[in-house]
Amino acid sequence: MLKLLSVRLVAILVGLGFALVALYAFAIGAYNAATEEPAGHLPYKKPMDLSWSFDGPFGKWDQTQLQRGLKVYDEVCSACHSLKFVAFRDLEQLGYSEAQVKAFAASKQVPGIDPNTGEATTRPGLPTDYFPSPYPNNVAAAAANNNAIPPDLSLMTKARGDGTNYVASLLMGYAPPSEELLEEHPEAAPGPGLHHNPYFPNLNLAMAPPLTSAGQVTFDDGTEATIEQMSKDVAAFLTWTAEPTLVKRKQTGWPVLIFLLFATVLAYMSKRQIWAAVKPKK
């Protein structure tokens, strides 16, 4: 009995240790989030709190919205930004047929090798290919974008805090700085080749407004292509590129939680049954 109590005590102490470490990490993270000052002490805005179909434990993808977002990326964003971790065949998850994916891939030029000369060339894409970069290298990318290399967007919503809302807010947020802001923070004035955006930590970025007018993209489902609509659609699409298994993970989580709850109850009842006739020694 003494040995059994010792084992239980050690298990309790180990569990308590893990709990204290987790609590400490949570407290440090919460403190840093509450006290962290904006980059450069500039008063940038937090992303807008927008509504998304994939929010919450029962969220799911809106395939129509994802298809609209793909079109915004393809016709606007792909001129500067790559999606190097997304293969054309992945688009079947958005509701496209195999034939549609093949046609879409074939409309893109991807890097290839000339079989006759062995030299680098380009060829029509295949479903197994990944979205190509718009630039041959970083030097060309920087030269075309005021010495700023456009980031790959595959994981962008994971790389930024509150990523989906951040991307949508940034795309909708371009506006000249207010006079009040410039009076308090003269350094917030956009320099040569920079564009003011209150949702960007430095308030000014090299990327010009990509969405400039309503109707810039024509949606196949007839949805009106306002700047707000296009911003939200491409943000949702980039959320899918960053974590295409998001909804599946949520759907899997519920059966796992139910199983763990059932297993816990069963283990407790078994423990009561097994040790019911055992009386501790005094």
CATH code, domain carrying 78? 1.10.760.10
Amino acid identity for residue 240 in this structure: W
Q: Based on the domain organization, do 153 and 194 belong to the same domain? A: yes
Q: What pLDDT score does 39 carry?
A: 46
Judge if 164 and 229 occupy the same domain: yes
What distance in Å separates the CA atoms of residue 187 and residue 70, rounded to the nearest whole number? 37
Same domain, yes or no, for 207 and 244?
yes
Instruction: Provide the residue type at 60 as one letter.
Output: K
Per-residue pLDDT tens digits for 32-51: 555 555 444 678 889 999 99
Helices (H), 108-245: 138-143, 156-159, 163-172, 179-184, 227-242
**Distance between CA atoms of residues 230 and 236, nearest Å:** 10
In a shared domain, residues 29 and 153: no
Number of folded domains that form the chain: 2
Which are the contacts of 36, defined by CB distance < 8 A and separation ≥ 6? none
Q: What is the pLDDT of residue 134?
A: 93
Coil vs helix vs strand at 124: strand
On whether both 51 and 188 belong to a single domain, the answer is yes
**Residue 161 included in any domain:** yes
Candidates 66, 36, 44; CA nearest to 54 is 66
Amino acid at 90: D
**What is the per-residue pLDDT for 217?**
94
Q: Is residue 217 part of a domain?
A: yes
Q: What pLDDT shows up at residue 161?
A: 87
State the pLDDT at residue 148: 86
Q: How far apart are CA 17 and CA 8, in angstroms?
A: 14
Domain membership of residue 220 as a residue range: 44-65+72-82+149-248
Q: Residue 226: CB partners within 8 Å, gap ≥ 6?
A: 214
- What's the CA gap between 269 and 275, in Å, rounded? 10
With respect to residue 234, please indicate whether it lies within any of the assigned structural domains. Answer: yes
Nearest to 214 by CA among 195, 238, 231, 235: 231
What was the pLDDT predicted at 4?
53
d(CA 275, CA 260): 22
pLDDT of residue 154: 96
Q: What pLDDT is stored for residue 189 in this prediction?
A: 87
Q: pLDDT tens, 247-280? A: 888 888 888 888 888 888 888 888 777 777 766 6
CA–CA gap between residue 132 and residue 141 (Å, rounded): 13
Residue 141: inside a domain = no
Residues of the chain with pLDDT under 50: 38-40
